[in-house]
A and B are shown apart, each in its own frame.
Chain A
Amino acid sequence: DIQMTQAPSALSASVGDRVTITCRASQNVSTWLAWYQQKPGKAPKLLIYDVSNLESGVPSRFSGSGSGTEFTLTISSLQSDDFATYYCQQYNSYSGMYTFGQGTKLGIK
């Protein structure tokens, strides 16, 4: 099974900061890499799919990049609405398995 490890597990930042979250895979993954945002008591919301494609309606301050085993989610200028937990997710076409990272909690500094 492919393991997804996010770093950091938690971070504190201020409005206006540039924030980067990293997701590392235990082995090379294809371009099936997505990012989600989850707020307390709510379901996850899709932000980025296929590494770098912005889901419709998601602000352009969110961006994704990477390849192979390392991927990043960047928020270019943090807004108050962005304080949440973020998850990466990959798909392994050999096993048919979808795997999520353990999450990164983004809090207010």
Chain B
Amino acid sequence: QVQLVESGGGLVNPGESLRLSCAASGFTFSGYYMSWIRQSPGKGLECISYIGSSGSTKYYADSVKGRFTISRDNAKNSLYLQLNSLRADDTAIYYCARLPRSGNHFDFWGRGTLVSVSS
């Protein structure tokens, strides 16, 4: 069955960095677009980045453009998100989610990893 497991979250100071990982299993990872969606009490659900199946297509929300970088390693069935210059308003649960081959929605989600930015 499809499984997505995020890791790498934690408590950091403003301005610091983190790298999130998402380990995928149960499907042909290299055939799917993948995304990072975050959820915070103040901003609700926000799709902040997604990446095409080969890694050549990338999208970033304005809120993270220039600070976050999405990548993937299809040989390792893994998705990554590098978070730099973190701010307090980046505090959220970060979910890894799959987009289906046909359609523009999110059909499988991981359990999420919590990122807290505070001094």
Stretch with Cβ within 8 A of B (4 or more), from A10-18, A19-27, A70-78, A96-104? A96-104
Residue with the greatest number of chain B CB neighbours at <10 A, chosen from A46, A50, A91, A102: A46
Size bracket of the A interface:
20 to 34
Supposing A100-B44, A100-B46, A103-B44 touch, asked if A43 and B107 sit within 8 A by C-beta, the answer is no
CA distance A34 to B47 in the complex (A): 14
Residue in A49, A93, A96, A101 whose beta carbon sits within 8 Å of that of B105 in the complex:
A49
CB-defined contacts of A45 to chain B, threshold 8 Å? 109
**In the assembled complex, how far is the CB of residue A28 from the closest CB belonging to chain B, in whole angstroms?**
16
Per-residue interface assignment for chain A, residues 75 to 109, with 1 indicating a CB less than 8 Å from any chain B CB and 0 otherwise: 00000000000010101010011111111000000
Residue of B nearest to A48 (CB): B105
Q: Judge whether A44 is part of the interface by a CB distance below 8 angstroms.
A: yes
CB-defined contacts of A91 to chain B, threshold 8 Å? 104-105
Residue of A nearest to B105 (CB): A34
CB-defined contacts of A32 to chain B, threshold 8 Å? 103-105
CB-defined contacts of B45 to chain A, threshold 8 Å? 44, 87, 89, 100, 103
CB-defined contacts of A98 to chain B, threshold 8 Å? 35, 47, 50, 104, 106
**In the assembled complex, how far is the CB of residue B9 from the closest CB belonging to chain A, in whole angstroms?**
14
Give 20 CB contacts A-B under 8 Å: A32-B104, A32-B105, A34-B106, A36-B106, A43-B95, A43-B109, A43-B111, A44-B45, A44-B95, A44-B109, A46-B105, A46-B106, A49-B107, A55-B107, A89-B106, A97-B59, A98-B47, A100-B46, A101-B44, A103-B44
